[in-house]
Structure 1
C-alpha cells in the first residue's frame, strides 16, 4: 500500500488459488499461425458484466496509480504489455500481485483499496469495470476508507439482500437477459421451453409448465383436475395464504387441518379425519424448505381418488426419502418469487407433473384456454412464464444446489450454537428429509415480539412467517365456525425467522447467534 508516496510492507502475497477479495484467473488464449486470440469472458472468467473499459499506459518511472477504493465497482486488470504490481487491501489484509503478461487477469471485488505501482516503461494495463464511472463510488482518502470500512463492518445484518445474493451470478443473468432482448421473442419461445425442460429434469418429472406465479400454479393445477364448486381441498392452517386462496380461486372449499407442533408441517394424522366424500385434493406445504410427510398423507388418503398437490413454493431442490420435492405427489406448484431459493427477477411459477394430460390442461388454461392462437377450447386466462424470467431461471438453476448447500452450512451454525437455549425452539428436521432452509424459523414462546425488537436494536433484521394462521385472516373471518387450530395459532404467535440465505457470511450468522443468546440470558421480567 502507498502512504504519502511511500510503499508500505506487504502483509500477504496471495496465490492464484486464493478465494479472497482479489484473485488471479486464467484467461483463454487461442494460438494459431495468424496470431493469438485472448478471451476474457464475463461469465466464464471475470464474473461480472463489463460496462466500462479503459487502459493505463505511459506511467512515468517511480510513479503510481490507484490510491483509492470503490464501494460497489468490481474491476478486472489485464496487463496487455509490460509489467505492473498491484496491492489490494481490505479488512487489515493486503494481497500483492505482479502482472507480467496477458495470460491471466486480476479480479478485484468491491470495497477494496488498491495501489498500482512499479510500472515497466512499456506497460499497457487494460481495466474492465462492472459499472460506469461515478464519483460517488470512489473513496480517495485512505483514512476515510478505513472509517467507511469500519462502518460497513458494523452495518446491519439483512434478512435477505437480493443484490448481494445474486452477485456471483450477475454475469450469467445479464447474458441471459441480453439474449432475450436480442432474440426479439418476449412471450413464449425457446427460452421458456428450455427452462421447462431443465426444471422438469431437475425435479425428476416428465413435464414442467411455466405460469405467472405460485398462486396461479396451485389454482391452475386444481382447475386442470376439474376441481371446482362443491369440492373440498384439504390445506394446512399454518401456511402462506396463497395455499388457501388457490382453492377459493377455483370455487372449491378449503378445509383446514392443524400442523405438527415441532415442524409446522401438515399433520398426516389429522388429514384422514378431514376427508369427506367431497374431498378432491390435499395440498401439503413444504414449509420453510422442510419436506412434508407425503407418505404419511398418502396413507391417510388410503387409496381414495384424492390428488396430492405439493405446495413446493419454498422447497426448490429439497429431498424427501432421496426424491426431490416436486416429484412426490400427483403434481407440484412452484413459485419463483425473487426471494425464493430459485428466484426470478419478478414473478413466476411452474407446475411440474408426470401426467401429460394435466400438463396440457394447465398450459391450455394459462393460455386463454387454447394451445394454438385463436383456438380456445375452454374458458381460460393469461398466466405464462415470460422468456425473460425463464432465461434468468435457466442461468441460476445450475447454482441452486450449491446455494442450497451454503444455506445448510449456515443452518448448521445456528443449530450447533443455539441448541439447548431455554425459551427457544429450533426447527426440527425429520429423518426422511433433506431441507433447503428457505427460512430458518425458530419459536420463542411468549417473547417473540420482544426478541424481534431486541434484534432490531442490534441492527439485525428478522422476519415473521406467518403472523396469522389462515383462519385468523380477515378475508376468512367466520369461515370455520366452531373449529380450532391451536398449533397453527401457536406458530403464528411464537415463530420468528432469523436471517439465512446463501449470501450471508459466517460472521453475520454468528452475530445473530450472539444476539439471540444475549436476549435469552435476560430474565423474562427484567
Structure 2
C-alpha cells in the first residue's frame, strides 16, 4: 500500500560526469520501494504483447533502458495510457491494476522491478474476474490501523536488516543500536539518545536518573495512557494529576502552576495525539526551581513546537517505538533523548544492570536496553518518518476541512505554534450518541478507537489516590466523548474521503426521537 495509489511517471535520478551517466532507481517519487525481483523484456517479435493480467499485492516499476513501449493501465473505473520512450523516467504501478504492454520498438529493452517474488496466487489473468475483484476491493472495510500494509512498502528492507543482525554476531548492543541512537539524536536535535527496552522504562529510567524518587511528586495529566503514571510509581515517586485543556486534551498549564509545591521533583507534559504542549509556558512556570521537565513524546515523533522538534524541548524526553507509533519498531522499544550527557550516561548505566564494566555494579539497576533487532528495524524506518508524517498531515487536513461545522461533532484544535504529527485524530461526539456514532461507522466498515476511555484517576489500580468521579471534569468529559478516526500513513485519500462521507451522513442525518433511539432522516 503506497501513499499515492495511482499509476504515475516519475523521474529517475540521473548523475552525469565526464565518464558517462548513472541512472539511480531508488525511493521512487520520494516513497520507499522494496523489491524482491528484477526481470526484463528484450528481442520481442513485431506485434508482441505482454501483460494481460493484474496483481493483487505486487507493485512494479517499469524502466525503458532502450527503445520504447506503450503501456495501458486499467481498473474497473479508471484507465491510463503511458508511452515510455526514455530511460530518465519510470512508471510506478501500484497493486490492483490491469496492465497491457504493446507496440514495443524493435530495439526495446524494458526492465521491471517487482516488490515480491513470483506468486501465481497473486495473479488475476481473466479480465472479468479482475473487474469483479476490483469492485469488491472498492467496498472493503477501512481499518483503524493495519500494520501489515507497511510490509509492502518497507517490509523487505526491515527483514533484510534484521537478517544482517542475526548473522552479524552482536545480539545485544552493537553497531545497529549505536547507529540508531546517533541518527535519532540528530533527528530530534539533541546531543544524546539512549535506547531503552520500551516507552514505560524510558520514562522510569529518566526519572530515576534525575533522582526523582521517594518523597518527590511528579505532575502529569489525568488524560493520558497509564504508562505515564506507572513510570512515576516505578521510580518511587508520587503522581500528582492535573486536568487538561478541553480543546486539545493537553495538560493545563494553569493547573500545573497551581499544583507545584516544595515536593515537586518533575513535570511530565504529554504531547498527546502528536500535538506538542506549550513548552515555553511550562519553562516560565518552572523558572529557576530544580524541577525536571520530562517530555512524554511517545506519540510525537517529529512533531514541531515553534519550529523545534519534540524530544529537545525539556531536560529529557521519553519515546516509545511500540509498533503502532509514527515511528514503530517490530516489537517493544523505547528511547530517552537529552542535551545532558551526564543524565544520558546515568540512564544508560541504570538500564544496563547499574554497570559500566562487567560484574562491577555501581547502582541498583535494571535490564532495559534497545535490542539490535529493533534498532535495525528503526534504522530502516527513520528515513521515511517525515514522509509518513506528511501523509498523516494531509489526511488530517482533509478531516479538518471537510468535517467543519457538523452538528454534534467537534474537531481537535491546533495551536498556532504547533505542527502536530497526528498519531491520533480525535473528534468529540456527545456522550449520549457516541455509541450510536461508533456503531454507525462500524456498520459502514470503518474502524475506530477511543483514546482514552478511562482517565488515570478512575483506573482501579489507582483507587488508593482517593480521587473519584468529578475530580478532573474535563478529562472525564473527554473520556466519554472522544472517538479516534482512521488516520495512518498507509490510508489512501479515497479511504479518508470515505470516512468523511460516512461521518457527514451520520451528523447531518440523525435526530433523536422523543421515544429514544436515533433514526436516520435521509
TM-score, normalised to structure 2, is 0.88
Say which of 38, 44, 50 aligns to 1:65.
50
Give aligned pairs, total.
507
CA drift at 1:279: 2.0
Give the equivalent residue in structure 1 for 2:385.
400
Distance 1:156 1:277 in 2: 54
Give the equivalent residue in structure 1 for 2:446.
460
The reply to whether residue 246 of structure 1 matches residue 231 of structure 2 is yes
Distance 2:457 2:93 in 1: 52
* Residues 49 and 174, structure 1, Cα contact 8 Å, conserved in 2: no
Give the equivalent residue in structure 2 for 1:230.
215
**Superposition pairs for residues 141-290 of structure 1, below 5 Å?**
141-165=126-150, 167-170=152-155, 173=158, 176-181=161-166, 183-290=168-275
Distance 2:14 2:76 in 1: 32
**Superposition pairs for residues 317-336 of structure 1, below 5 Å?**
317-336=302-321
Structure 2: state its 5+ residue gaps.
Answer: none
The reply to whether residue 506 of structure 1 matches residue 493 of structure 2 is yes
Distance 1:41 1:377, change over 3 A: farther
CA drift at 1:399: 2.9
Could you list the per-position Cα deviations for residues 280-321 of structure 1 after superposition, in whole angstroms to 9, with x for gaps in the alignment? 111110101111122333344353222111101111121223
Distance 1:154 1:219 in 2: 45
Distance 1:24 1:358, change over 3 A: closer
Distance 1:53 1:500 in 2: 33
Distance 2:406 2:114 in 1: 47
* Residues 5 and 492, structure 2, Cα contact 8 Å, conserved in 1: no
Q: Which moved more, 1:266-275 or 1:359-368?
A: 266-275
Distance 1:495 1:270 in 2: 22
Give the equivalent residue in structure 1 for 2:60.
75
The reply to whether residue 491 of structure 1 matches residue 478 of structure 2 is yes
* Residues 156 and 459, structure 1, Cα contact 8 Å, conserved in 2: yes
Q: Which moved more, 1:198-207 or 1:77-86?
A: 77-86
CA drift at 1:481: 4.1
CA drift at 1:249: 1.2
CA drift at 1:461: 0.9
Give the equivalent residue in structure 1 for 2:502.
515
Distance 1:163 1:37 in 2: 38
The reply to whether residue 524 of structure 1 matches residue 512 of structure 2 is yes
CA drift at 1:358: 0.8
Say which of 347, 353, 365 aligns to 1:368.
353
SS at match of 1:420: coil
Give the equivalent residue in structure 2 for 1:473.
459
Distance 2:84 2:402 in 1: 44
The reply to whether residue 357 of structure 1 matches residue 342 of structure 2 is yes
Say which of 289, 297, 303 aligns to 1:304.
289
* Residues 43 and 172, structure 1, Cα contact 8 Å, conserved in 2: no
| Cα RMSD, aligned residues only | 2.9
CA drift at 1:219: 0.5
Say which of 278, 300, 315 aligns to 2:300.
315
Q: Which moved more, 1:218-227 or 1:406-415?
A: 406-415
SS at match of 1:110: coil
* Residues 200 and 208, structure 1, Cα contact 8 Å, conserved in 2: yes
Q: Which moved more, 1:315-324 or 1:101-110?
A: 101-110
CA drift at 1:145: 0.9
Could you list the per-position Cα deviations for residues 327-358 of structure 1 after superposition, in whole angstroms to 9, with x for gaps in the alignment? 22111101111221222222211101111111
Distance 1:319 1:209 in 2: 21
SS at match of 1:450: helix
Distance 1:211 1:78, change over 3 A: same
SS at match of 1:114: strand
The reply to whether residue 380 of structure 1 matches residue 365 of structure 2 is yes
Structure 1: state its 5+ residue gaps.
Answer: 1-17
The reply to whether residue 431 of structure 1 matches residue 420 of structure 2 is no
Give the equivalent residue in structure 2 for 1:7.
none
Distance 2:37 2:128 in 1: 28
Distance 2:386 2:45 in 1: 50
Distance 1:462 1:61, change over 3 A: same
SS at match of 1:503: coil
Distance 1:326 1:54, change over 3 A: closer
Distance 1:421 1:111, change over 3 A: same
